């Protein structure tokens, strides 16, 4: 067998999967038909879960100048009346990062690819067209035409299809997608402001819920700004994307002399979910598995969650640390999560896209009433679901994201907890939990897994203390555990909580349940 893993497609999702495969030591081949990255922006937003993954890869500092915390979103009806407000959660941030970000996609993609080059066991082929993928009992085989026109056949334990919304692999396998009945034509325009221009533009992101033409304004990093315009029935996507049409649309906010058009593309915003995410040894990720309307800025997030969910499981199974049944949890976990997130985005889109004047008035009154009852507005993070199926326990906090506090260790080093523990299985112990006996008698089955112990302590650890001791700076994790009435957590490598316990006996039973589930 040539590789542990072959990844087809090297957009943000495929490149993230390749980096995670590098972290987990998987011998990997990454294939992409294009000779280089697409130099225009497409995705523009991601959330704290994605930033946590990017930091795990080692990219947070490298991409810092190309990202910016997401501004609040204001929904305005005709007459510029505020009818809805969505804000971000206030500090301290649950995952250690700002809840949402805007970013410039091309430099972030370049950083992802540069990081891949640091792994000797991850190989990249650009200009490589995948002609066929066949899944067999013991391996998958991929037929590739390289940039010189030569054909090659490679084998791997598994293949990840990250080949986009049109996914040739999915199409060849004739795998159907469920349509969640959202299909709207929009024009997306990215501009770069000229020096000193744009001071009169909104300082927040704005959804203009106007029946004449719904549209969106997004504040990007630096001089990057985005407008999205719904295409009217009497307009053609090709005509409205012409520079003169774009300048006319944007003239409401800016004169043409104040900006340069970076990119303009027309799209049909869809809500689609693949019915079958796995075909034997072929797994589908990102747009190949689902398409989400952009109104919640979760499209790319969904795909990176796919990669974060799946790659560690492939590593566990490949190293005989878990049974092959673990891979069945991929669709069981991701499909419901994607469905719920897509449905929320679809609902937001329907709110914005209302073209009937009478229904728009009803919408406005309904949302104004919601603002009166919740004057602080909606918190964006409350809209993203937890896991509710798959490799999770039935105990409190199971399926929730594990918080990430700022900590210090016995050497006086300070940082976010992931930077000490990495993407590993973690056994987390509260500061007031007597852990010695539990730790002395951990099962051999647990100790053979990639495991990190996190023992919270009240006083700053010093040289001579256990390397497992960490003191929190703000009490974020300790407070969260107290709220969930637990003393012990088992946390998966993708930062989702497997389960919790409040006593030593419960902790032992929890560990036994994890080992049982992993070996199915």
Per residue in 458-502, pLDDT tens? 999 999 999 999 999 999 999 999 999 999 999 999 999 999 999
Residues in the chain: 520
For residue 437, the SS3 value is helix
Residue 367: inside a domain, yes or no? no
Shared domain for 421 and 322, answered yes or no, is no
Q: Of 100, 110, 108, which is closest to residue 297 (Cα–Cα)? A: 100
Q: What CATH number does the domain containing 460 carry?
A: 3.40.30.10
Estimate to the nearest angstrom the gap between the alpha carbon of 134 and the chain centroid.
29
The pLDDT, as a whole number, for residue 279 is 97
Residue 383: inside a domain, yes or no? no
Residue 191: inside a domain, yes or no? no
pLDDT tier at 457, thresholds 50, 70, 90: very high
Tokens 């997004």 found at: 218
pLDDT tens-digit series, residues 371-425: 999 887 788 888 899 999 999 999 999 999 999 999 999 999 999 999 999 999 9
The pLDDT, as a whole number, for residue 268 is 87
Backbone angles phi, psi at 416, to 5 degrees: -65, 145
pLDDT tier at 90, thresholds 50, 70, 90: confident
The pLDDT, as a whole number, for residue 381 is 81
Shared domain for 8 and 127, answered yes or no, is yes
Shared domain for 57 and 169, answered yes or no, is yes
Estimate to the nearest angstrom the gap between the alpha carbon of 481 and the chain centroid.
24
Alpha helices in 149-242 (DSSP H): 168-173, 237-240
Q: Which token pair is 435?
A: 């852990």
Shared domain for 419 and 287, answered yes or no, is no
The pLDDT, as a whole number, for residue 300 is 97
Shared domain for 314 and 436, answered yes or no, is no
Report yes or no: 67 and 102 within 8 Å, Cβ to Cβ: yes
Containing 504, the helix (H) or strand (E) segment is helix 504-518
Shared domain for 423 and 507, answered yes or no, is yes
Total domain count, the chain: 2
Strand partners, 269: 184
Shared domain for 12 and 125, answered yes or no, is yes
Tell whether the model's pLDDT for residue 191 goes beyond 80.
Answer: yes
Domain final position from 288, 314, 331: 331
For residue 506, the SS3 value is helix
Shared domain for 285 and 427, answered yes or no, is no
Residue 292: inside a domain, yes or no? yes
Residue 412: inside a domain, yes or no? yes
- How far is CA 308 from each of CA 135, 211, 335, 492, rounded to the nearest angstrom? 23, 40, 14, 11
Residue 36: inside a domain, yes or no? yes
Shared domain for 308 and 171, answered yes or no, is yes
pLDDT tens-digit series, residues 273-288: 999 999 999 999 999 9
Q: Of 444, 464, 417, 446, which is closest to residue 513 (Cα–Cα)? A: 446
Residue 236: inside a domain, yes or no? no
305 or 379: whose pLDDT is higher? 305
Q: Of 131, 136, 106, which is closest to residue 31 (Cα–Cα)? A: 131
Report yes or no: 480 and 396 within 8 Å, Cβ to Cβ: no
Cis peptide before 92, with omega less than 30 degrees from 0?
Answer: yes
Tell whether the model's pLDDT for residue 333 goes beyond 90.
Answer: yes
The pLDDT, as a whole number, for residue 93 is 95
Structural domain range at position 436: 406-518
Distance from C-alpha of 366 to C-alpha of 157, rounded to nearest angstrom? 53
Domain final position from 281, 303, 331: 331
Mean pLDDT over 70-84 rounds to 93
Residue 227: inside a domain, yes or no? no
Beta strands at 28-32 and 3-8: parallel, antiparallel or unpaired: parallel
Domain final position from 286, 302, 331: 331
Shared domain for 169 and 288, answered yes or no, is yes
DSSP annotation of 463 reads B
Q: Which token pair is 413?
A: 């080093």
Shared domain for 43 and 128, answered yes or no, is yes
For 192, residues 6+ apart whose C-beta sits below 8 A from its C-beta are 223, 224, 225, 259, 260, 262
Q: What CATH number does the domain containing 159 carry?
A: 3.50.50.60
């Amino acid at each position: 067998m040539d590789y542990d893993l072959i990844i087809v497609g090297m957009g943000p999702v495929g490149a993230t999967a390749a980096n995670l495969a590098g972290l987990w030591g998987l011998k990997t081949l990454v294939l992409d038909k294009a000779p280089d990255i697409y130099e225009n922006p497409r995705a523009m937003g991601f959330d704290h879960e994605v930033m946590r993954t990017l930091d795990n890869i080692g990219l947070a500092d490298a991409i810092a100048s190309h990202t910016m915390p997401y501004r609040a979103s204001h929904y305005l009806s005709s007459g510029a009346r505020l009818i809805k407000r969505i804000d971000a959660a206030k500090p301290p941030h649950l995952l250690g990062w700002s809840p949402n970000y805007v970013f410039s996609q091309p430099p972030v993609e370049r950083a992802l690819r540069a990081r891949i080059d640091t792994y000797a066991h991850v190989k990249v082929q650009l200009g490589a067209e995948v002609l066929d993928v066949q899944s067999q009992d013991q391996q998958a085989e991929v037929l590739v035409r390289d940039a010189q026109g030569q054909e090659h056949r490679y084998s791997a334990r598994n293949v990840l299809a990250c080949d986009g919304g049109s996914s040739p692999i999915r199409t060849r396998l004739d795998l159907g997608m469920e349509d969640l009945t959202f299909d709207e034509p929009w024009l997306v325009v990215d501009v770069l402001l000229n020096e000193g221009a744009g001071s009169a533009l909104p300082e927040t992101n704005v959804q203009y819920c106007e029946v004449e033409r719904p549209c969106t304004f997004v504040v990007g990093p630096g001089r990057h700004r985005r407008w999205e315009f719904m295409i009217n029935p009497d307009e053609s996507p090709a005509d409205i994307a012409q520079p003169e049409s774009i300048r006319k649309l944007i003239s409401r906010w800016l004169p043409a002399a104040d900006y340069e058009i970076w990119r303009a593309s027309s799209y049909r915003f869809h809500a689609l979910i693949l019915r079958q995410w796995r075909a034997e040894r072929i797994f589908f990720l990102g747009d190949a598995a689902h398409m989400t309307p952009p109104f919640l800025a979760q499209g790319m997030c969904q795909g990176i969650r796919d990669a974060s969910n799946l790659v560690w499981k492939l590593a566990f199974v490949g190293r005989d640390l878990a049974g092959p049944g673990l891979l069945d949890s991929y669709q069981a976990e991701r499909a419901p999560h994607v469905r719920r997130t897509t449905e929320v985005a679809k609902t937001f889109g329907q709110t914005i896209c209302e073209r009937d004047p009478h229904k728009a008035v009803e919408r406005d009154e309904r949302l104004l009433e919601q603002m009166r009852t919740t004057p602080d507005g909606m918190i964006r993070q409350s809209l993203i679901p937890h896991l509710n199926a798959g490799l999770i326990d039935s105990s409190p906090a199971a399926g929730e994201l594990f918080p990430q506090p700022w900590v210090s260790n016995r050497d006086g080093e300070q940082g976010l907890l992931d930077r000490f523990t990495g993407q590993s299985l973690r056994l987390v112990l509260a500061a007031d939990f007597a852990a010695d006996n539990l730790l002395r008698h951990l099962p051999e089955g647990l100790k053979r897994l990639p495991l990190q112990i996190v023992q919270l302590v009240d006083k700053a650890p010093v040289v001579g203390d256990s390397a497992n001791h960490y003191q929190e700076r703000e009490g974020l994790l300790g407070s969260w555990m107290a709220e969930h009435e637990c003393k012990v957590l088992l946390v998966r490598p993708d930062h989702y909580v497997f389960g919790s316990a409040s006593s030593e006996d419960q902790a032992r039973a929890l560990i036994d349940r994890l080992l049982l589930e992993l070996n199915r």
